[in-house]
């Protein structure tokens, strides 16, 4: 029994894991710790009881390149590809910002009033303001006494 306890006290699986992790970090640097970057266009959503706002990054796009539509509780943002005809310009050495067309759909926690949607494109940021459809607002019921 004494021999088994001495062997078990020398075996440290977490120590082996920490050593492996340390070696990987030294070999790969910050590659493992870098935040993941999604290919989807970033979208932010804010909601209140009766309205919501959706913001999407659309750098270099004109309002004519953007289509916003709503159906029930879903807002769809469609953006045409950015014209990248460089002509005689030098070939790009690095291109991180997407020039492709994209579509994003965001589901809201309520049905949208399509007549009251407002979309503004300003400095590469699309701001869509959406209001809750009145038919989905809670109705106040008066309680009567008898």
Residues 47-66 have pLDDT tens digits of 998 999 999 999 889 999 99
Which domains, from first to last, does the chain contain?
A: 2-31 (no CATH), 43-83+98-136 (2.60.40.790)
pLDDT value, residue 140: 87
Distances (CA, A) of 73 to 40, 54, 69, 131, 132: 21, 13, 11, 10, 9
Q: Quote the percentage of the chain above a pLDDT of 70.
A: 77
Residues 6+ apart with CB under 8 A from 114: 70
pLDDT value, residue 120: 97
**pLDDT tens-digit series, residues 11-49:** 677 777 777 777 776 666 555 444 444 556 789 999 998
């Amino acid at each position: 029994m004494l021999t088994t306890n001495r062997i078990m006290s020398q075996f440290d699986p977490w120590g082996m894991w920490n050593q492996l992790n340390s070696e990987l970090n030294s070999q790969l640097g910050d590659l493992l710790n870098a935040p993941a970057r999604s290919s989807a266009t970033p979208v932010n959503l804010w909601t209140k009881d009766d309205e919501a706002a959706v913001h999407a990054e659309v750098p270099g796009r004109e309002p004519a390149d953007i289509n916003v539509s709503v159906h029930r509780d879903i807002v769809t943002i469609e953006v045409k590809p950015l014209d990248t005809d460089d002509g005689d310009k030098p070939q790009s050495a690095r291109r991180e910002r997407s020039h492709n067309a994209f579509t994003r759909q965001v589901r809201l926690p309520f049905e949208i009033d399509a007549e009251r949607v407002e979309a503004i494109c300003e400095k590469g940021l699309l701001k869509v303001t959406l209001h809750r459809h009145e038919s989905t607002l809670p109705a106040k019921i008066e309680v009567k006494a008898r």
